[in-house]
Amino acid sequence: MAKAKTTFFCKNCGFESSKWLGKCPACGEWNTFVEEIVSKPAGKQKGYGGEKHKSKPAPVHVISSEKEERIDTRSDELNRVLGGGLVPGSVVLIGGEPGIGKSTLLLQMALSLDGTRILYVSGEESNRQIKMRADRVGINNPECYILNETFTGEIFKHIEELKPAMVIIDSIQTLYTDMLDSSAGSISQIRETAAELQRFAKTSNIPVLLIGHITKDGSLAGPKLLEHMVDTVIQFEGDRHYGFRILRTIKNRFGSASELGIFEMQSGGLREVSNPSEILLSQRDEMVSGVAIAAMIEGQRPMLVETQALVSTAAYGTPQRSATGFDLRRMNMLLAVLEKRSGIRLSNKDVFLNIAGGIRVDDPAIDLAVVAAIISSSEDMPVDNNICFAGEVGLSGEIRAISRIEPRILEAEKLGFEKIMISRYNLKGIDKKRMNIEIVPVNKIQDVAERLV
Residues that bind Mg ion (CB under 5 A): 103
Q: How far is the CB of 247 from ligand TYD (least distance, A)?
A: 12
H/E element, 151 = none
Burial of 357 (0-12, 13-18, 19+ CB in 10 A): buried
End-to-end CA separation in angstroms for the chain:
83
98 binds, among ligand TYD, Mg ion, none (CB under 5 to 8 A by kind): ligand TYD
* Shortest Å distance, C-beta 270 to ligand TYD: 7
Min dist CB 393 to ligand TYD, Å, is 37
Residue 86 interacting entry, from ligand TYD, Mg ion, none, C-beta within 5 to 8 Å by type: none
Residue number with the smallest Cβ distance to Mg ion: 103
DSSP 388: E
Does residue 99 belong to the site contacting ligand TYD (CB under 6 A)?
yes
Contact criterion met (CB below 8 Å) for 96 and 245:
no
Question: Which residues are bridge partners to 247 per DSSP?
Answer: 236, 261
- Return the H-helix or E-strand segment holding 201: helix 187-204
The piece of 51-59, 223-231, 267-275, 342-350 that touches ligand TYD (CB under 6 A) is 267-275
Residue from the set 14, 83, 95, 101 that interacts with ligand TYD by CB under 6 A: 101
* Maximum C-alpha span of the chain: 84
Closest distance between ligand TYD and the C-beta of residue 372, in Å?
Answer: 36
Q: Residue 215 in contact with residue 187, Cβ under 8 Å?
A: no
Among 83, 85, 95, 96, interactor with ligand TYD by CB under 6 A = 96
CB of 101 to Mg ion, least distance (A): 8
**66 close to 182: Cβ distance less than 8 angstroms:** no
- Is residue 104 close enough to count as binding ligand TYD by CB under 6 A? yes
Taking the C-alpha atoms of residue 282 and residue 260, their distance in angstroms, rounded to an integer, is: 20
Dist. CA 370–CA 397, nearest whole Å:
14
Of Mg ion, ligand TYD, none, which one sits near residue 185, judging by CB under 5 to 8 A according to partner kind? none
In the complex with Mg ion, the residue whose CB is nearer, 103 or 173, is: 103
Residues paired with 271 in a beta bridge? 264
CB of 103 vs Mg ion, minimal distance in Å:
3
Decide whether 214 or 351 has the Cβ nearer to ligand TYD. 214
Among 28, 98, 218, 429, binds ligand TYD (CB under 6 A): 98
**Helical axes 328-342 vs 445-452, angle rounded to 10°:** 80
**Nearest residue (CB) to Mg ion, 238 versus 276:** 238
Does residue 267 touch ligand TYD according to CB under 6 A? yes
Shortest Cβ 208–ligand TYD spacing (Å): 17
How near is the Cβ of 267 to ligand TYD at its closest, in Å?
5
Based on the shown chain and the rule CB under 6 A, indicate whether residue 265 belongs to the binding site for ligand TYD. yes
426: left (phi over 0), alpha (psi -120 to 50) or beta: alpha
Based on the shown chain and the rule CB under 6 A, indicate whether residue 100 belongs to the binding site for ligand TYD. yes
Q: Which does 265 bind (CB under 5 to 8 A by kind): Mg ion, ligand TYD, none?
A: ligand TYD
Provide the 10 A C-beta neighbour count for residue 55. 5
Question: What's the CA gap between 356 and 305, in Å, rounded?
Answer: 7
For ligand TYD, give the closer residue by CB, 167 or 304.
167
Q: Show Cβ contacts of residue 305 under 8 Å, excluding neighbours closer than 6 positions.
A: 277, 280, 281, 293, 294, 296, 355, 356, 357, 359, 361, 366
CA pair distance 168, 105, nearest whole angstrom: 11
Pick the piece of the chain touching ligand TYD (CB under 6 A) from 4-12, 177-185, 265-273, 314-322: 265-273
Q: Is 136 in the site for ligand TYD (CB under 6 A)?
A: yes
Give whichever of 208 and 420 is closer to ligand TYD, judged by the CB atom.
Answer: 208
Stretch that binds ligand TYD, among 9-17, 96-104, 417-425, 437-445 (CB under 6 A): 96-104
CB of 165 to ligand TYD, least distance (A): 22
Question: What distance in Å separates the CA atoms of residue 109 and residue 327, rounded to the nearest whole number?
Answer: 33
Give every strand in the sheet of 321-324, ordered side by side. Answer: 321-324, 349-355, 301-313, 291-298, 387-390, 419-423, 438-442
171 prior amide bond cis, ω within 30: yes
Decide: is 354 part of the binding site for ligand TYD (CB under 6 A): no
Residue among 85 and 95 whose Cβ is closer to Mg ion? 95
Using CB under 6 A, which of 133, 251, 271, 321 touches ligand TYD?
133
Residue 268 binds to ligand TYD (criterion: CB under 6 A):
yes
Other CB atoms within a 10 A radius of the CB of residue 22 amount to 8
Degrees, nearest 5: CA angle 333-337-343: 140
Please tell me whether residue 153 binds ligand TYD under the rule CB under 6 A.
no
Q: How far is the CB of 170 from ligand TYD (least distance, A)?
A: 7
Query: Under the rule (CB under 6 A), what is the footprint of ligand TYD?
Result: 96, 98-104, 133, 136-137, 265, 267-269
